[in-house]
Amino acid sequence: MLQKAMAFITVPIFTRIMDTAQYGLYSTYLSWSSIFTVLLTLRLESGAYTNVLGKVQNREQQENITISFITLCFCLTTAAMLLVVLFPSFMTALTGLSTSMLVFMLLEIYFIPIVNFWSYRQRFEYKYRVMVIYTLIKSLVNVTVGIALVYLFPTDSQAYGRIISVLLVEGVTGCGLYFRFIMKTHKVFSFHNWTKTLRFQMPLIPHYLSMNLLFSSDRIMISKFIGNAEAGIYNVAYSAGQVMDILKMCLVDTVRPWVYEKLNQNEYSKISRFSFLLISVMTLISVAY
């Protein structure tokens, strides 16, 4: 919740220092980024990886599967990068983003699964103190570097400044965590794990993709049919309306390790009682909001 709250807190900052059209362009970039992230990372951390952490107790095996999943995401992202390089006009026409923006997006997506896998591991091991410290430092650095680069870039390129700032922070964090993973195993891929993972995860992709399309399609269409400035104005109001969705997703991510633990222990009644309580609380908060 702290991590997501920082995104809302910084909205007024960047709307003040960025040109309206540039802020709208950055919002459109984020919308496409969320869609490509689902396609290229398969949201493994929310499905197959969570399942692995819940069932596989051997630490070495967990490390091997983690690095194998990261390599699978790398391969998919590299394939997308080749499409952008070989067919830039098609990808630009499809997204409305420049080729350089698409390259920056894919570079960022290389690091997203690394950070996500590490974060889910901390949740499963109940290392919340580590997560809070990491979240605070990363969020503060992200905002500080973002403000600095937005001011350094010309007015008509401020979106690039914000994009590069996020890429730098994600890149430094991702590289550090990747070397931490790679030092604990020498097996960077496993076709057996990939086959099992794809069979498990692929049926979930339409669900993950539909949610992202629902959240992102409006900003993409406004940018394409009306303009980036209008998309930026819309995104400010949309961010306020997202509060409840973010709260719900944060609670689900937090509870997920406990749910898998109880599933392994066949304690279904506890899950049922807690789920009913959680749904009731969220309903009351939604009505009040």
Does the model's pTM come out above 0.75? Answer: yes
Q: What is the mean pLDDT of residues 1-9?
A: 69
For 278, the token pair is 């959680």
Helix ranges, the chain (H): 2-17, 20-41, 48-55, 59-86, 88-95, 99-124, 128-152, 158-182, 191-201, 205-225, 228-241, 243-264, 268-288
Q: For 161-178, what is each residue's pLDDT tens digit?
A: 999 999 999 999 999 999
Per-residue confidence at 215, pLDDT binned at 50, 70, 90? confident
Q: How far apart are CA 100 and CA 30, in angstroms?
A: 15
Taking all residues of the chain, what is their mean pLDDT, rounded to a whole number? 86
Q: For 47-95, what is each residue's pLDDT tens digit?
A: 788 777 777 778 788 888 888 899 999 999 999 999 999 999 999 998 9
The pLDDT > 70 percentage for the chain reads 97
pLDDT at 265 (0 to 100): 83
For 165, the token pair is 């700032």
- DSSP labels for 108-157? HHHHHHHHHHHHHHHHHTT-HHHHHHHHHHHHHHHHHHHHHHHHHS-GGG
Q: How far apart are CA 40 and CA 35, in angstroms?
A: 9
Q: How far apart are CA 36 and CA 80, in angstroms?
A: 9
Q: What is the mean pLDDT of residues 1-27?
A: 82
pLDDT at 2 (0 to 100): 67
Q: For 247-275, what is each residue's pLDDT tens digit?
A: 777 788 778 878 888 888 888 888 899 88
Q: How far apart are CA 135 and CA 1, in angstroms?
A: 10
